Structure 1
Amino acid sequence: MRRVAVRSVVLAGLLVLTGGLPAGAHTGEDPGAEADVAYHGRVSLTGARLRIWLVPENEGPAALPNATVRVRLSAELADRQELSEGCARAGMREVVCETGPLPMHGLGRHIGLVLGLRERAPEVVVRVDTWWNGGATDRNLANNEHVVLALDTGDMYAF
């Protein structure tokens, strides 16, 4: 599964850098598909440790073979991270994870992250959104773009 996420990250990076697909590349995307990807979860901050638990969901009308959720932070990540399977670091403040298959009106795999911060912060803003969804149309972005403020209290903040 990790290869799929890394392949998605690399392909998306190529798209950004080159402005298009490399010659002969195949994405497996179905540009005619329509799906409604949503994320629900919790965030908690204790010291320099941020815990994130999220569940991707597809409210339909079509199934997706995979998608990539992006988690962006207002604080820098520590240099070394032990990430969950299917996740990859995408920058100093960013992690991306594959969702696995998202059946129509179903859930993807539960994603749990324990991220170390470069230094302790009194608060961290966590942004969750879809980075890649196979080219499907998503007409309801309100349920897959979240901004959560986590205070260094150990309390859980739901989204």
Structure 2
Amino acid sequence: MFKRITLVLVAVAVALLSSATAGALTQPDLNEQDREFLRKAHRSNLAEIQAGQAAQEKGASATVRDLGAKIVTDHTKLDSDLRRVAEQVGVDLPKRPSADQRRELEQVTAQSGEDFDRAWLAAQIAGHHRSLANGAEELQEGSSSEVKQLARDARPIVQTHLDMLQKASGG
């Protein structure tokens, strides 16, 4: 009887170890590109949200204020999805935008009126170009299907923002 119980316990332990190993094998295979994409995209989202809030507060034109609101809404959603994936794959994210992003926003918000609008649009156009490049690099070099899907999902949203920003700037 004791041998039978021991045998059952060993079989259960082997089954548990096998399923744990199988689970580990199905975890996403992250490379450094995936990690870097998540960090850069998160920082970009944080910067875009702050910039959008600034546009809502300081924008001289209704167009800039409306674009700011759309950018806040869309980048908040994109970042929520990104944070969920980063948590699933175990990537720690930065707490705030990069020093360059913060400095750029400070320079833009130092402006007022139409000067603010022009500076804000130019900064947003440049930032959205960088976001598209970051996503393209992830699609080319990334290894995690979950992280690559984030880049795929973000691309049309970021492109729409870029198109709207360029139209608003007259370009």
TM-score, scaled relative to structure 1: 0.25
Determine which structure has the larger helix proportion and give its number: 2
Determine which structure has the larger strand proportion and give its number: 1
> Which has the greater radius of gyration?
2
Does 1 or 2 have the higher relative contact order (CA < 8 Å, sep 6+)? 1
TM-score, scaled relative to structure 2: 0.24
